[in-house]
Every structure is written in C-alpha cells, then in structure tokens.
Amino acid sequence: QGLATDIDVFLRKQQGTDYFGREASERDDRRKFAENARSLADMLADLRAAASSSDTFDYRSVEEEIQIVKRYFLITVRLIFKHLVRVIVDAVEGARCELILRSNLSYVASLSNLDYGGLASLNDAFTANGTVRVLLLVCVESKLSSVRALALRALATVCSTTETIRQLERADGLEVLRDILAAGDADRTEPELREAVSVLTQITAPWHGEEHRLEGLKQHVHAIVEAITGKRIITIAM
C-alpha cells in the first residue's frame, strides 16, 4: 500500500507540471508519458486491491505486478529526466550570463556523475539532448579558461558510454582536445589542461571494452602525445 501511495503521489505531482514542449520532436514523449501514467494508475489500483485481499493474497502474483510497475515507473522517470536535462543543456547553449553558465555546467557534471543504481539508464538523456556537442561549443567559444575547464569536466563525466564517445568523435571533439593540449602556455591554464587530459583518459579507458576504438585518434595522436609528454603537462596530469 505504501509503495502504491508513493508512486501515485509522485505521478499526480508530475502530471501537474508541463515538462514537455510543443515541438514535433517532443510530441511522442508527451504521448508516452500520458500513456505510462494511465497504465501505472491502473496497475496501482490492481496492486492495492491484491494487497488488501488477505484471503486470496498471492505473493508471487503481487511480486510480478510490482516488477511491471517498476518497469513502467522507470520509463516514466526517464522521460521526465530527459526533458529536465534538455532544459539545462539548452540553458548552457544559450547562456548570456557567466554565473548561470557555470552553474549549469556544474549541474551537468553532477547529474552525469551520480550513481543512480537501478536508474543507470538515465544516462540516455545526455545522449538524446546533444550534450556533448553543446559542451564542445563552450570549450571552443568561451573566452574564459575557467569556464572551459568546467565544460571539460562535464564532458569527462558525460562521455562514459560508447554512444556519447561516438558523439564526441563525430563533433570533432578529438581535434578540440588536441588544440587545447597543443596550445601555448599563455593560452591555457593548468586546470583546463588537467580537465582535457581527464577527458582523454575517460574516452580511451580500457573498461569500454576490447572492441572500443577511436578511429579519429590516429590523425591527432602525434600532436596529442607530444603535448602530453611535455614537462608542463606531465606535472599537471600527475
């Protein structure tokens, strides 16, 4: 009963908030959210009825029902999270205030670095919203090294999946990293260089699997290795 009540309260609160825009690309998510909310309401009613009937209580049946509720609930949470991330990413891309930009970059880094346990699939939200492309834009266009360092830190946390790493490669992210690392001492600060090395460490890490390859790395590898093996960056990386 407690589980059903908590989910019901959550759904009612979310239905009172319009997370989804009116663009064509968001209509499908709006429809899915409404369908899932209705399905969950029906399943919660069945769950309450089963739990309150002590004479015919079937533990196995209720357990199966809870698993179905969990599946639909996770899908609903993913839809909400996807659109909340979109709001943050859009705010980063359109930022005119340095303070707001810094705050939203920190949000991206924090959200993508949290351990969601059973909600690990929430990482899909960063893929769907083009987060990698927007962070790379900040790395290229911002005139402040401290802001670029924040964008790189967020990039290192977002690029934890094969798909986001592929997005980085397709958006010329390796070239951006090469330019950052190969720049003169006067152009880049130590924090920015540290974060750039962290991104490289993340996207080339062995835990992505034996089949993981960055084809675009070949054309930039000499410049990147030369920059990283320089005395200044070795000190920073260590």
- The pLDDT, as a whole number, for residue 238 is 44
pLDDT of residue 213: 80
pLDDT above 90 as % of the chain: 39
CA atoms of 171 and 127, how far apart (whole Å): 13
Per residue in 146-163, pLDDT tens?
999 999 999 999 998 889
The residue among 165, 172, 162 whose CA lies nearest residue 220 is 172
| Least trusted range by pLDDT, from 3-17, 70-84, 150-164 | 3-17
Task: Read off the DSSP letter of residue 55.
Answer: S
Closest by Cα among 205, 196, 104, 92 to 153: 196
Flag whether pLDDT at 38 surpasses 50.
yes
Query: pTM of the full predicted structure?
Result: 0.82
117: left (phi over 0), alpha (psi -120 to 50) or beta: left
Q: Which of 147, 77, 73, 79 is nearest to 108 (CA)?
A: 147
CA distances for 151 relative to 68, 85, 94, 99, 175, angstroms: 39, 15, 14, 13, 16
Distance CA 217, CA 168 (A): 11
The confidence score (pLDDT) of residue 1 equals 62
Here the tokens at position 215 are 């084809």
pLDDT value of residue 100: 95
Q: 209: buried, middle or exposed (CB in 10 Å: 19+, 13-18, 0-12)?
A: exposed
Residue 150 CA to residue 42 CA, distance in Å, equals 45
Close Cβ partners of 61 (under 8 Å, ≥ 6 residues apart):
50
Q: Are 77 and 23 in contact (CB under 8 A)?
A: no
